[in-house]
Chains A and B, each alone.
Chain A
Amino acid sequence: MGLKPILTKDFGVENLAQLSVYEHTGGYTGFKKALGMQPDALVDLVKASGLRGRGGAGFPTGNKWSFLPKGMYPRYLVCNADESEPGCFKDRYLIETSPHQVLEGVMIAAYAIGSNLAFIYIRGEYLPQYEALEGAIDEARKAGYLGKNVLGKGYDLDVILHRGAGAYICGEETALLTSLEGYRGEPRLKPPFPAIKGLYGKPTVVNNVETVSNLPHIILNGAEWFSAMGTPTGKGTRVWCISGHVNKPGNYELENGTPIRELIEVHGGGVWKNRKLKAFQPGGASMMVLLPEHLDVALDFDAIAKAGSMAGAGAMVVMDETTCMVDAARRYVKFFQHESCGKCTPCREGTFWMANIFDTFEGGTAKGTDIDLLLDVGYNIDGRSFCPLGDASTWFPRSVIKYFRDEFEQHVAEKGCPFKKVPEEAVA
């Protein structure tokens, strides 16, 4: 599908991060148009566009906005720029290349939900991206896009850029809000959902960077234009991050419904070193592994779910025939163990035990029964954890056991990893 990109269409323009250049490409005309509309009409427009959240869960954005209880103020708009899902680097790209596009999206969302104070929560490791947004906010304030009586339309808006400090769990929306309030970033029980009781106990909308970046374009071009692209349940495009064993890793904005094959073989330049594809993983560290037989599945929430995985945050990790699937799963499990916030027992203890068992496979001391032990531990975490982090920590390892059980058995039989380490040339 050779559709023109939406979010990244001007990304080749030099100095796009500067306000004047961004305005030259049509920047802030979406916000100006929005300011001339009734907030309710904007909510309806975004509902009609079919835009779904790009942060992982894929919730319809307009619907989320419409859940805010009538007449309850103040309300807050929080943009989730905590991107930390392993394999995911699209929000970083969107922010560093066009911080004003993100900011314009934030402003439109804030106006639509009737918020006078918006926040952008950015992960602590993204220092250059923090600086890009900081610069954009300064420029926008000086130009009158932010502050009291924005562009003389009687609307007040301020944006606070808030820097996280190294905790993946703060990407989960309730943990993010807790962190923003100055506490340890532990998730809260839902319901109440943030729309009812969010930041400081007030109605709050949390939207992802890529989600809000779509808004200026939807406002300018209309709901029909947007919903004409993509699949029946997945409108528009997504920015896919492709990494691992491909020739051209990077970010590619593709229309929803594009076959996975096109992402890997055309945009990603195919599997590197003329090797064969062994497996790939859409959606980031949490998501189940898929096989070459799934290459013709469409890049779409529903299609990928039907194939047994999830589109998640739009990360495609590609693994060639030399990959040790046990070690790949081990890294992810270690990641979840490290990032478990410790609030609930199944996740805190379970990820710890899974990581220990995985170490015995790589270390050569695993027994045959440890494969089922892993499944058993996984089964006791999934569905029993307080937030999705715990559940998700089990999905990739369990799917790897399902498709690559023989590799686990090989680790047991050969008392260690049967795969040679990546040869020198891989890094030279």
Chain B
Amino acid sequence: MLSKETADRIRESAARYPSKQSAILPALWAVQHEQGYVTQEAMGEIAQHLGLPASLIEATSSFYSMFLTRPEGRHEVVICVNAPCMLRGADEMTAHIERRLGVRDGQTTPDGAITWHSTIECLGGCGGAPMMQVDHRFEEDLTYEKVDAIFERLRSAPAPHEMGQPHKALAVPPVKGEKARSGAEGARPRGRKTQQ
């Protein structure tokens, strides 16, 4: 069940747009902010608040790569490996991240603190490459030492939503049995091409 606050937010945004369907993305963000990821059940609730069929919410949601469909670590670390970042050592940095965290691309550390993955999507930080986003905030001009210090901080830091920040996250057990992906292979495919 969504909190009253989230439900109110969904209905408020629906009232702002000329079409309530436009509130689907804001609603999905509100849900992810509260629950850390977006379940089928939550999409059903969004559908009710917006007065739209649930299939429509699911069709829209599955197109976008940023909505998580399962719980992940308290913090999300994403490193860009597209060409401009590659030129400045993104592959080496990716290898370092994997070594330091001890889990593969797309996986979560055993303590539930960090889920990391590489992406082929430019994050708009090529000017500070190698770069990564931590809970959607920029960490640029990375060095091994800098990355280590960031991880040190994240291990004990509460999830962004616990600090009142609009992101996501729950402490969860690691995701087991993931197939390895690395470097340019890391771009995680999600939903984009699956027609509902």
Q: Measuring CB to CB, which residues of chain A are less than 8 angstroms from any residue of chain B?
A: 74, 83-89, 91-92, 117, 123-128, 160, 162-168, 179-185, 200, 241-245, 249-251, 285, 315, 317-319, 323, 327-328, 330-332, 334-335, 338-342, 348, 421-422, 424, 426-428
Given contacts A317-B83, A317-B84, contact A84 B66 (CB under 8 A): no
- The B128-153 residues at the A interface (CB cut-off 8 A) are 128-130, 133, 136-138, 142-144
Against A, the Cβ 8 Å flags (1 = close, 0 = not) of B112-138 are 000000001111111111100100111
When the two chains form their complex, are residues A200 and B18 in contact, meaning their CB atoms are under 8 A apart? Answer: yes
When the two chains form their complex, are residues B124 and A285 in contact, meaning their CB atoms are under 8 A apart? Answer: no
Task: For the complex of A and B, list the 6 residue pairs with the smallest distance between their C-beta atoms, beginning with the closest.
Answer: A427-B89, A182-B21, A165-B64, A166-B66, A86-B122, A127-B136
Is B82 an interface residue when CB atoms closer than 8 A count as contact?
A: yes
Q: How far is the CB of B7 from chain A (nearest CB, A)?
A: 18
Give bound CA distance, A103 to B143, whole Å.
36
The one of A89, A125, A163, A244 that contacts B25, using a Cβ cutoff of 8 Å? A163
- Chain B's interface size range is 35 or more
Is B81 an interface residue when CB atoms closer than 8 A count as contact?
A: yes
When the two chains form their complex, are residues B19 and A181 in contact, meaning their CB atoms are under 8 A apart? Answer: yes
A-B contact count (CB 8 A): 186
Given contacts A182-B22, A249-B128, contact A332 B67 (CB under 8 A): no
Q: How far is the CB of B29 from chain A (nearest CB, A)?
A: 6
- Report chain B residues within 8 Å CB of A125: 66, 121, 123-124, 133, 136
The one of A91, A124, A181 that contacts B64, using a Cβ cutoff of 8 Å? A124
Q: Measuring CB to CB, which residues of chain B are less than 8 angstroms from any residue of chain A?
A: 16-19, 21-26, 28-29, 56, 59-60, 62-67, 81-84, 86-89, 91-93, 96, 120-130, 133, 136-138, 142-144, 166-167, 184, 187, 189, 192-193, 195
Give bound CA distance, A340 to B83, whole Å.
18
- Report chain A residues within 8 Å CB of B83: 86-87, 285, 317, 327-328, 331-332
Q: A249-B88, A334-B184, A342-B192 are in contact. List 6 more A-B contacts (CB 8 A).
A: A89-B125, A168-B121, A182-B21, A331-B83, A422-B92, A427-B96
- Report chain A residues within 8 Å CB of B89: 422, 426-427
- Report chain A residues within 8 Å CB of B137: 127-128
Nearest neighbor of A427 in chain B, beta-carbon distance: B89
Nearest neighbor of A396 in chain B, beta-carbon distance: B83
The one of B29, B59, B88, B133 that contacts A426, using a Cβ cutoff of 8 Å? B88
- Report chain A residues within 8 Å CB of B21: 181-183
Give bound CA distance, A278 to B72, whole Å.
42
Q: How far is the CB of A10 from chain B (nearest CB, A)?
A: 20
Q: How far is the CB of A427 from chain B (nearest CB, A)?
A: 3
